[in-house]
Amino acid sequence: MHAIFDYGMIPDYVVRGQRLYTLFTSMFMHGNIPHLVGNMLYLYVFGDNIEDAFGHGRYFAFYFLCGIVASVTHIISVTATEGMFWPAVGASGAISGVLGAYLLLYPRARILALVPYGWLYVARVPSIFFLGFWFVYQLLLGLLEQSGGVAYWAHIGGFIAGVALALALRIKKGAPRIEEPVF
């Protein structure tokens, strides 16, 4: 727990220009094992395609820039609340940027997903629906402030940054467009 306060991004410090390194270190900290596993699953499913599209160097810069935008969005969302003094941890904001880029670059790719319909079914869902639903869900929870310790506005900020940066970076020449299921 001590490490989370040392390396997590505490908005009050960042706003005062202190501990700016936590904008990066917080992306490598996670609150618990399910948090880490969930982030790594999303990164595994979507990240390699975006890295292939941008190239290693641009993907590296893209990922961290999305994470920083996510942190800034989180800071704005907690300004003048007690959230200014609580550490934010996790790669979710940066990974949300990856999701935003994926939605823009591969809208017809099909994602293997569990779909609740009476029972749980495995279905191949177009990424535009899967990621669109994910974004709307984050937005609703952010607007309803049902955080429970989750930085929904960081997810939203990272996602929007991913879309904007994907438009700016575009796909490197010769990168294949994926229309087959990725997972």
Q: Does 131 score more than 90 pLDDT?
A: yes
Q: Which two tokens stand for residue 123?
A: 């279905």
Residue 99 lies in a domain: yes
Number of domains in the chain: 1
Residue 85 lies in a domain: yes
The structure's pTM equals 0.90
Residue 183 lies in a domain: no
CA distances from 160 to 31, 112, 128 (A): 24, 24, 15
Residue 79: give the domain boundaries: 2-169
Residue 179 lies in a domain: no
Residue 180 lies in a domain: no
At 65-115, the pLDDT tens digits run 999 999 999 999 999 888 899 999 999 999 999 999 999 999 999 999 888
By the 10 Å C-beta count (0-12 exposed, 13-18 middle, 19+ buried), 19 is classed as middle
Residue 103 lies in a domain: yes
Residue 44 lies in a domain: yes
For residue 110, give the CATH number of its domain.
1.20.1540.10
Bridge partners for 119 per DSSP:
117
Residue 177 lies in a domain: no
pLDDT confidence tier of residue 181, bands split at 50, 70 and 90: very low
| Residues 112, 31: Cα–Cα separation, whole Å | 27
| Residues 10, 16: Cα–Cα separation, whole Å | 10
At 36-47, the pLDDT tens digits run 999 999 999 999
According to DSSP, the β-strands at 119-126 and 110-117 are antiparallel
| Residues 87, 18: Cα–Cα separation, whole Å | 14
How many angstroms separate the most distant Cα atoms in the chain?
51
